[in-house]
Amino acid sequence: MAAHAAAKSGRYLYAIVTAPGEQTYDFAGIDGASVYSIANGQVAAVVSDVLNDKIRPERRHLAAQQAVLKGLLSQADAMLPMAFGIIADGPKAIQKILSRNHKAFLQQLQRVAGMVEMGLRVSLDVPNIFEYVVNTHPELRAARDRFVGPYRNPSQEDKIELGRLFDHLLNEDREAFTGKVEEILSGYCREIKRNKCRNETQVMSLACLVPRSAQDRFEAGVFEAAKLFDNNYTFDYNGPWAPHNFVELNLEL
């Protein structure tokens, strides 16, 4: 480890792992740098040397970080992936982070031990989402016909009211469907977190904390949940990932 200490560079922080000692990994980090750990007590920081004090979120850097996390996922029983761009001044600064956050790190590592994150996004795959919601909700159809009939020139207020009703019904549908899916998937995973829908057609975006040994069972749960939906819905099921959505740390730097 002496070579690392001698280098005049920062330390890019990828993740926190449970580790009794320090080690060097067989995968490369940002800019091809070697990846190794700095330990403190029962936890260790997985880092690589960087020459800059700021790393831009370019595609190659993001890909390098994901490659490190993927490598760690296959080797570490528990890991806490860090947000992109955390750089400490050097080994002493990393030791301070580990020391100040030691208890919180251990608690979070116990929470995700033996777990991976799986993602599930459900979307409406229809030519026109407004027309779809109109056809599945009589009250929206009646409002549309009232405001936008053949002999009506709808006012701005009419359009706003129609838009509000559309949003309300769409969110009601999202809530109802998400609740049903969560009810099924809760039997196959430890925790479920709802993420914000990225666009109007997305019905739900779920992050699920799943035991490594139960990924096949979880997939069976996804297929079970899919039976609730007709062919107007698409399921995007992905993973395993590092448990990004299940790390809740107020990092003391």
The yes-or-no verdict on residue 251 having pLDDT over 80 is no
What tens digit of pLDDT does each residue of 163-177 get?
Answer: 899 999 999 999 999
For the cut 60, the answer to whether the pLDDT of residue 1 exceeds it is no
d(CA 225, CA 1) in angstroms, rounded, equals 50
Exposed e or buried b per residue across 47-72, where buried means at least 16 C-beta atoms within 10 angstroms of its C-beta: bbbbeeeebeeeeebeebbebbbebb
Q: What is the dihedral of CA 50, 54, 55, 56, to 10 degrees?
A: -160
pLDDT at 52 over 90: no
Residue ranges of domains in the chain? 2-113, 116-246
Task: Please compute the mean of the pLDDT values over residues 193-222 and round it to a whole number.
Answer: 95
Q: Name the residue with tokens 């080994």.
A: 91
Instruction: Please state the pTM of the whole predicted model.
Output: 0.86
Q: What is the pLDDT of residue 3?
A: 41
Look at residue 150 and tell me whether its pLDDT is greater than 80: no
Structure tokens at 151: 């002999």
Compute the distance between CA of residue 139 and CA of residue 104 in angstroms, rounded to an integer. 50
CATH code for residues 116-246: 3.30.70
The pLDDT confidence band at residue 7, using thresholds 50, 70 and 90, is: very low
Neighbours of 243 (CB within 10 A): 26
Which pLDDT band, with edges at 50, 70 and 90, does 61 fall under? very high
Tens digits of residue pLDDT in 9-30? 899 999 999 977 789 999 999 9
Cα 201 off chain centre by: 19
Angle at Cα 19 formed by Cα 57 and Cα 96, nearest 5°?
65
- Per-residue pLDDT, averaged over 145-158, amounts to 73
